Amino acid sequence: MIKLYQFPPAFGLPNMSPFCMKVETYLRMAGLPYECPRGADLRKSPKGKMPYIDDNGKVVADSTFIIDYLKATYGDTLDAHLTQAQRALGVVIQRTFEESLYWPVVHSRWIDDIGFAKVNQAVFGRMTFPLRQVIPIVARRGLRKQLHAQGTGRHTRDEIYAIGCRDITALADLLGDQPYFLGDEPASIDATAYAFLANLLWVPIDLPMRAHAATFANLEAYCRRMKARYFSSTPARA
């Protein structure tokens, strides 16, 4: 069975990491059996990040490479019906979520004091003293450096949230009245979209991007549709 190593559930979601939730959503969409062992160790990940999988001894890290591997190994049932243009659009949508919207989300959770107060408690609240005092500071400092190096961290708070809200508007317009991002049937891009949108709409961090996303009824309906279809049961956790 495929073992999915990821962070623990948080905020009522399968994962507060959109990349971890993306892989778990894809596994469910593709109907692939898996389990989530407890106590996943970040130090054992080949790339020092979550998620990663162990498929009978084959270890793969990075959410996109994991899904590529799963498609190549078990078949690409979700995207077989897509046209070349739809596949290209899927790449553009993925990049919008993962390379553009991602950074304002990181800022909202790790740099903005309002978001960090919630994340700190959810992620580090059960750590023993003095780890719960030291680790959050180190993690926050590291992410601040990443944001600055990437460029988003050089903007003001309002500018960062304007970038995120612009992406959200574009994604809501792309979805429109469709059930899924590429039409009437779900495709693998919906694993990414659901993971990011649910983490925006359903994590109780009251900041501008969440409020903006909530103005689009189609995004909320989309998330509820995906949850009802693919998360009516809980995964196996060893």
Answer yes or no: do 67 and 174 share one domain: no
- Residues 208-237 have pLDDT tens digits of 999 999 999 999 999 999 999 999 876 545
pLDDT confidence of residue 235: 56
pLDDT confidence of residue 135: 92
- Residues 175-211 have pLDDT tens digits of 999 999 999 999 999 999 999 999 999 999 999 999 9
Task: Decide: helix, strand or coil at residue 14.
Answer: coil
Answer yes or no: do 111 and 225 share one domain: yes
Answer yes or no: do 67 and 140 share one domain: no
Low-confidence ranges of the chain (pLDDT < 70): 234-238
Answer yes or no: do 60 and 105 share one domain: no
- How many domains is the chain built from? 2
Computed over every residue of the chain, the mean pLDDT equals 95
Domain stops at, among 48, 74, 100: 74
Angle at 27 (CA atoms; ends 24, 31), nearest 5 degrees:
145
Answer yes or no: do 133 and 202 share one domain: yes
Instruction: Give the number of other Cβ atoms within 10 Å of residue 102's Cβ.
Output: 19
Residue ranges with strand state E in the chain: 2-5, 34-35, 52-55, 58-61
Establish if 237 belongs to a structural domain: no
Domain stops at, among 25, 56, 74: 74
Residues spanned by the domain of 197: 84-230
Domain stops at, among 18, 40, 74: 74
Establish if 160 belongs to a structural domain: yes
Establish if 236 belongs to a structural domain: no
**CA proximity to 234, closest of 9, 5, 63, 58:** 9
**Predicted TM-score of the model (pTM):** 0.95
Are 197 and 221 a contacting pair, CB within 8 Å?
A: no
Establish if 238 belongs to a structural domain: no
Answer yes or no: do 191 and 163 share one domain: yes
